[in-house]
């Protein structure tokens, strides 16, 4: 009888653990629902969400002109997660341009934000995007797609050596 009672309370204990466990994970889900995620529910390190530095890509005056070799400058920006993973595109041209992701981008978020309607209409207009995934992100300008093309290469951070054990 006593053995059966112990078994019974063990079962109740497991049920309590399951209930507590699932509500804790439910809480975590809501807590992090509105933050960007690395995928599979992993949280993005805060220094990736708010990097200390950023990189500017200029859209040069005259970029609408196919015979002008320079438009997005730099045409290939290399950035590092947690260091300078925000890119700000700034237009210096009076003609409207876009920053539009190729559809094969590794980031759905970049495809959605750098859309075909992502126009920089006038001088001084800007578009900023914080990359939270390593990879190569190709983009182009919708009205001038045959010559206005650029890419952002996002590198994973260099792992810090772990401190010596004491
Ligand atoms: Cu353009």
**Do 126 and 163 contact (CB within 8 A), yes or no?**
no
69 lies in the same domain as 139: yes
146 lies in the same domain as 71: yes
pLDDT tens-place string over residues 29-56 = 433 344 455 555 678 899 999 999 999 9
110 lies in the same domain as 57: yes
Containing domain of residue 72, as a range? 46-155
Q: How far is the CA of 103 from the centre of ligand 1 (A)?
A: 18
Q: What count of Cα atoms within 13 Å lies in the side-chain half-sphere of residue 100?
A: 17
Q: How far is the CA of 100 from the centre of ligand 1 (A)?
A: 10
pLDDT tens-place string over residues 73-121 = 999 999 999 999 999 999 999 999 999 999 999 999 999 999 999 999 9
As a whole number of angstroms, the distance between CA 72 and CA 90 comes to 9
Q: How far is the CA of 82 from the centre of ligand 1 (A)?
A: 30
Check whether 18 has a pLDDT greater than 60: no
User: Residue 2 in 3-state DSSP?
Assistant: helix
Question: How many domains, the chain?
Answer: 2
Of 20 and 60, the structure prediction assigns the larger pLDDT to 60
Q: How far is the CA of 13 from the centre of ligand 1 (A)?
A: 64
Question: What pLDDT is recorded for position 36?
Answer: 53
Which residues does residue 54 pair with via DSSP β-bridges, in sequence order?
Answer: 86
pTM for the full model? 0.73
Check whether 57 has a pLDDT greater than 90: yes
Q: How far is the CA of 98 from the centre of ligand 1 (A)?
A: 6
Check whether 144 has a pLDDT greater than 50: yes
Of 5 and 75, the structure prediction assigns the larger pLDDT to 75
Q: How far is the CA of 61 from the centre of ligand 1 (A)?
A: 10
As a whole number of angstroms, the distance between CA 91 and CA 145 comes to 16
**Do 53 and 88 contact (CB within 8 A), yes or no?**
no
Question: What pLDDT is recorded for position 40?
Answer: 57
Q: Report the CATH number at residue 118.
A: 2.60.40.420
13 lies in the same domain as 72: no
């Amino acid at each position: 009888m006593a053995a059966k009672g112990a078994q019974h309370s063990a079962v109740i204990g497991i049920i309590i653990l399951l209930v507590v466990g699932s509500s804790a994970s439910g809480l975590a889900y809501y807590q992090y629902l509105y933050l960007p995620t690395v995928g599979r529910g992993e949280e993005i390190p805060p220094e990736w969400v708010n990097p200390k530095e950023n990189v500017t890509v200029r859209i040069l005056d005259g970029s609408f002109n196919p015979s002008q070799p320079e438009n997005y400058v730099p045409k290939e920006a290399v950035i590092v997660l947690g260091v300078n993973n925000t890119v700000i595109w700034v237009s210096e041209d009076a003609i409207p341009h876009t920053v539009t992701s190729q559809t094969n981008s590794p980031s759905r978020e970049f495809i959605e934000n750098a859309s075909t309607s992502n126009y920089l209409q006038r001088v001084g207009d800007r578009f900023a995007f914080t990359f939270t995934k390593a990879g190569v992100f190709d983009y182009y300008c919708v009205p001038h797609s045959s010559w206005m093309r650029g890419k952002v290469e996002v590198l994973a951070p260099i792992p810090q050596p772990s401190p010596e054990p004491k």
